[in-house]
Structure 1
Amino acid sequence: MKTRTDTKEKIVELARDLILAGGYPSLSYQQISSKLGIKNAAIHYHYPNKEDLGVEVVRRDSEKFDDFIVAVSGLGHWEKLEAFMSNYRKYLENENRICMIGSTASDYKEIPEQVQISASAYFTTVKEWFVALLESGRKEKAFYFKGEAVNKASLITSAMAGGLQHSRLVGNEHYDAIITQIKLELKE
């Protein structure tokens, strides 16, 4: 017998998969109810509207990143970078999806305000962590780059997110080539 918690978890997981595969605007309660074999009312019970569901999906992705930060906290700079890049690479291995930040950014004008706010906060968390990694790595002579760490973080995260999207068109090797180049540019 399904519990309400199980149903709620399955709704969020499926909504996440659908957003990563096709974007927030194409997400519908009908898709979820059909795939889970439940009524739309069951979805509305947990998430009265699509915006509530979207905010929850982004919030959970952000929490996973918080868990990632904790998990890699004892690693060296290059190990943290490798783990970060490997996390993004997993999207390609799962039916050529893009990351939540990339998905919400590409649909930004079509997503509700609260989802925009949640996605922006999530991106800020990722970027701040990455800036701190680059600054610390440069200070300890693990990374080498010109300019400000915040600008390098912007360049790298944009290249990674864009690389996921472009890989849909030309294959996963495109993303891998971007990662290889990023690593080369961080070495002395």
Structure 2
Amino acid sequence: MDTKSQAIETGKALLQLKGFNGFSFQDIADELGIRKASLHYHFSSKEELGLALIADYEDAFSQWCKTVEDLDPMDQLEKFCLIFYRISQDNLKICPTGVFCSDYNTLPISMQKRLGQFHKIQSKWLEKTITAARKNNDVIKTLSPKELATMIIANAQGSLQLARMHETSALAKNSVANLLKLLKS
């Protein structure tokens, strides 16, 4: 793996453990055993690194969507919720979107905009999947697909925060499992 890819992977791990404002280029350089100046060859600023992190998460989500596209819509929703449980199983990390949201007011405008675009991508995927699940009468109809998508994301993100605070990934697992029960019609 090249230095740029290693820096992105290290940045992702630090982001999910410490938050965007909780790590520096020096932290990444120390983890990789390189000089900080070497990182500036690939990223002119932390903002540029942040944009690369968001782009990497967008790509990963797009790839994940392809892996579940042939599943039943309700199975797709379950798999989506399981993403968050798996994140919590890895040292009680927080979902990158949730981390960036915690730091949102201190992020550069370019990162805020890119994060908003990524959130729209996830929300639109959820809305489409919820609509498809409704055609099978699998999901409640008391809330709109947009409202349900927001509820799913908020619950999943919040469950990761609480799992970290209580030091147990089981909290995230139980929270998303209970959410799925509430969604079923």
Q: Are 2:176 and 1:175 aligned? A: no
Q: Which residue of 2 aligns with 1:31?
A: 27
Q: Which residue of 1 aligns with 2:142?
A: 146
Cα displacement (A) at 1:173: 2.6
Cα displacement (A) at 1:68: 1.0
Q: Are 2:182 and 1:185 aligned? A: yes
Q: Which residue of 1 aligns with 2:155?
A: 159
**Structure 1 SS opposite 2:174:** helix
Q: Which residue of 2 aligns with 1:71?
A: 67
**What amino acid maps onto 1:184 in structure 2?**
K
1:68-109 residue CA offsets vs partner (Å, 9 max, x unmatched):
111111010122112111211111111111111100001101
Write out aligned runs for 1:1-188 (5 A).
6-170=2-166, 171-188=168-185
**Structure 2 SS opposite 1:38:** coil
Q: Size of the alignment, in residue pairs? A: 184
TM-score (norm 2): 0.95
1:25 and 1:33 map into 2 onto residues whose CA distance is: 16
Aligned-residue Cα RMSD (Å) equals 1.2
Q: Percent identity?
A: 24
Cα displacement (A) at 1:176: 2.1
1:33-67 residue CA offsets vs partner (Å, 9 max, x unmatched):
11111011110000011000000011100110011
Cα displacement (A) at 1:120: 1.0
2:88 and 2:21 map into 1 onto residues whose CA distance is: 21
Cα displacement (A) at 1:144: 2.2
1:86 and 1:96 map into 2 onto residues whose CA distance is: 14
**Structure 2 SS opposite 1:48:** coil
Cα displacement (A) at 1:147: 1.9
Q: Which moved more, 1:136-145 or 1:65-74?
A: 136-145
| Ranges in structure 1 where 5+ consecutive residues have no aligned partner | none
Cα displacement (A) at 1:124: 0.7
**Structure 1 SS opposite 2:59:** helix
| Ranges in structure 2 where 5+ consecutive residues have no aligned partner | none
